[in-house]
Every structure is written in C-alpha cells, then in structure tokens.
Chain A
Amino acid sequence: MYTFKNRSQVWDTVGMWAWLFHRVTGLALVFYIILHIVLMGTSLLRGPETFNSVLGFLMGSTLFLILDLLLAAAVLYHGLNGIRILLFDIGIGFNRQKEIFWVLMAAGLVIYLFLLWRVLPEIF
C-alpha cells in the first residue's frame, strides 16, 4: 500500500560533505592503491629495464604528475578528516565538529599550497 518515501537528503551541513568527500576519497584511494600495486608489481617482475622505462615514462608525463597532485589532495583530505573522525572515536569534539573540520581544512590548504610551491616548478 505505502509505496513512496521522500528520499531527499540534507545538503546544507558541513558533516554531510565531510562524510561524502571522505567516502569518495577513500574509494578513490582503494582504486589507486590496487592500480599502483598491479602496475609496480608487474613491471618489477619483468625486470629492471621494464621497471625503469615504466617509471621513466610516468615521471616524464605531465598528465601523470597532475594526477599525482590530485592523489595528494585526496590523501591529504582523507587523512586530515580521518583525524577528525578518530577524535570522535576517542570521545573528543562533538560540540565543535564544524570548527575542527575548518581548522583541519585550513591546515590542509597550507600544506597543499606548500606542496604546489615545491612541485609545480618541477612539472613546468
């Protein structure tokens, strides 16, 4: 009889986006790590020449280095928000969860800008 539910979500909260990005970056990292292990593993098994040429190709590719910057952003976000979640797990920060999020994001931005400052001259 009752055939319908309102499936609307709440989108205007910090926690919603913190959670969603955590899951998206977490899944992206799993995907990356599988790719990474398979690629490194197979090229290593084929001997030093193959390994060197694969790495040389990747490190020489601008596209790959830009993807690496995206990877760094994902790790940074996932790690910093991961600290926030772990604080909750030990019972800290329930009445300051949004403030903790923004402080960590500010720290992340500083770290990322530092990273760009060091890495961008290498790429371009």
Chain B
Amino acid sequence: MTLNVKVFRFNPETDKVPRFDTFKIEEFPNMAVLDVVMNIQNYHDPTLAYRCSCRIGMCGSCAMYINGRPRLACRTQVSSLGTKDITIMPLPNLPIIRDLAVDMEPFFEKYKKIKPYLIPKQDLKEPVICKPDSGERELIDYMLECITCGACYGACTMVATDPHYLGPAALTRAYCLIADKRDAATRERLVIVEQSEGVWRCHTQFNCAEVCPKKIVPTQAIQQLKKRCVFKRLGLFRG
C-alpha cells in the first residue's frame, strides 16, 4: 500500500512562510509514523529535520502533530490512523527550529519553575510510610510515568492562548511532589501553582489527557492542586 504523506516544512533562516511537501511512501507491516519520517529522510529528502531517540516511547522526543493530534511518532502505528493520508506537522505551541523539530525550551522553562525535583525533609527520624493502597499514592504512581514529551502542552488550547500558562505537564509534576509526604517544598511550590497562570488557567478541556501517550490525566492532577490552593487560602492546608 502507498501512503500519501504531507509534511510541514519550514526553515526560519531561508523561508518566509512554511509549506507542505508531499511524498508517496510504501507502507510495510507494523510501520510507525516515525518510520515514515525516517523513510522520507533516508530516501526522498535528507534535509528533513525532526527529533527522535529511543524509538520505544520512553525518551519523549518525537512528539509531532499527526493527523490532527499531538502523538509520539514512534508509538503511532500507521495502521491505527485508519487512513492512507498522513499529515505531519511540528508539535503546536512551541517555536519551530526547523521542519518538525520544535524548541522545547519554553516547555522546560515552565517545568523548572515548579522545581521538578524532590527537596527532602531534613528533620525526619523515621522513614515516611506511604501505604501502597492509599488512594493518593496511586495517583502519584501512574503520574510519575510522564516522559516530558510535551504532547499535552501541544494539545491544550489554554497553552495556545496564554504563552505564560505553566501547562499540564509542569503542573502534573508539581502535584506529584506536593502530594509526596517526604517533600519539604510543598508550600513553596503551591505559591507558584496558585498564580492565575498556574492551575487557574485550566478549564478542564481534557485535550491533554486525550493525547498523553502514558494515559496520564493531567486535569486530575490540576484539580488536586486547585483543591490544595483553596485550602491554603482558607488556612486549612496542612502539609
């Protein structure tokens, strides 16, 4: 079967406006969209720029806007698209370096703002006990699967309309740390996420959850944070 592939092309150094190039690519069994992109670069146009590394959905570098949604190119089977017409564009809401490669800097700048690392409590004598079956722990556990691919960031209309909104991934990370009993910087992080361009930009659109390759629901992490922000304002927040 032949695939009709439309690829977004833009080189800010030489082009005034972007364009689409089309390629006819032979499909092979179990072909992923990343295979399509590599095939184009190997056999049709070596100047095509894109980013990838692991090819197994764990490095988070190959998120692209494929047939109307941000998806990991390496984890998206061509057969799952249900059509032979494939349109590949760069991940939305991030500056384009060239063609399909975007600059992830704004995404990670916001990630850094919430201090995405554990700041351990120093005064603990006993080990913290987090029961595996406590509801909160389960939320953290699956949310820690985030590979910072930015698919959620590229799918969110609130990110698209407000360049300063922290976005789903950074807020989900903030929640994982704020809900962590061993962490000492809970309040510090809450002060950052309680800003209007923190949790309050979320309008429960769920596009982030729809596109997350790890099936995370950032909307729920953000709700957990909103709850804590309200409790904090009311002077009822402990932790």
Q: Interface of A with B (CB < 8 Å)?
A: 1-16, 18-19, 22-23, 85, 88-89, 91, 94-95, 97
Question: Contact: B93 with A5, CB < 8 Å?
Answer: yes
Chain A residues near B211 (CB, 8 Å)? 10
Query: Which of B65, B97, B154, B157 is within 8 Å of A16, CB to CB?
Result: B157
Question: Contact: A4 with B92, CB < 8 Å?
Answer: no
CA distance A1 to B15 in the complex (A): 12
Chain B residues near A10 (CB, 8 Å)? 68-70, 155, 207, 210-211
Query: Which of A12, A15, A23, A94 is within 8 Å of B69, CB to CB?
Result: A12
**How near does chain B come to A120, taking the closest CB pair, in angstroms?**
35
Question: Contact: B226 with A15, CB < 8 Å?
Answer: no
Other contacts beyond A5-B92, A19-B205, A22-B203: 15, CB < 8 A: A1-B12, A2-B12, A4-B95, A4-B96, A5-B95, A9-B92, A10-B155, A13-B206, A13-B207, A15-B206, A15-B207, A16-B157, A89-B226, A94-B209, A94-B220
Query: Which of A5, A7, A23, A94 is within 8 Å of B219, CB to CB?
Result: A94
Chain B residues near A12 (CB, 8 Å)? 68-69
Question: Contact: A19 with B203, CB < 8 Å?
Answer: yes
Chain B interfacial residues counted at CB < 8 A: 38
CA distance A5 to B96 in the complex (A): 6
**Chain A CB within 8 A of B5 CB:** no
Chain A residues near B102 (CB, 8 Å)? 6
- Residue-wise interface mask of B (134-162) relative to A, using a CB-CB cutoff of 8 A (1 in contact, 0 not): 00000000000000000000110100100
Among residues of A, the one whose C-beta sits closest to the C-beta of B203 is A19
Q: Which of B69-89 contact A (CB under 8 A)?
A: 69-70, 89
Chain A residues near B217 (CB, 8 Å)? 94-95
**Chain A CB within 8 A of B8 CB:** yes
Among residues of B, the one whose C-beta sits closest to the C-beta of A81 is B204
CA distance A72 to B162 in the complex (A): 32
**How near does chain B come to A97, taking the closest CB pair, in angstroms?**
6
Chain B residues near A18 (CB, 8 Å)? 205
Query: Which of B90, B210, B220 is within 8 Å of A6, CB to CB?
Result: B90
Chain B residues near A6 (CB, 8 Å)? 8, 65, 89-94, 96, 102, 154
**Given known contacts A6-B65, A11-B68, A91-B223, is B206 in contact with A97 (CB within 8 Å)?**
yes
Chain A residues near B111 (CB, 8 Å)? none
Question: Contact: A8 with B92, CB < 8 Å?
Answer: yes
**Given known contacts A10-B69, A10-B211, is B96 in contact with A88 (CB within 8 Å)?**
no
**Chain A CB within 8 A of B120 CB:** no
Question: Contact: B95 with A8, CB < 8 Å?
Answer: no
List 26 interface pairs A-B (beta carbons < 8 Å), by A numbering: A2-B12, A2-B103, A4-B10, A4-B12, A5-B94, A5-B96, A6-B65, A6-B91, A6-B93, A7-B92, A8-B68, A8-B89, A10-B69, A11-B68, A15-B210, A16-B205, A19-B157, A19-B204, A88-B204, A88-B219, A89-B226, A91-B223, A94-B219, A94-B220, A94-B223, A97-B219
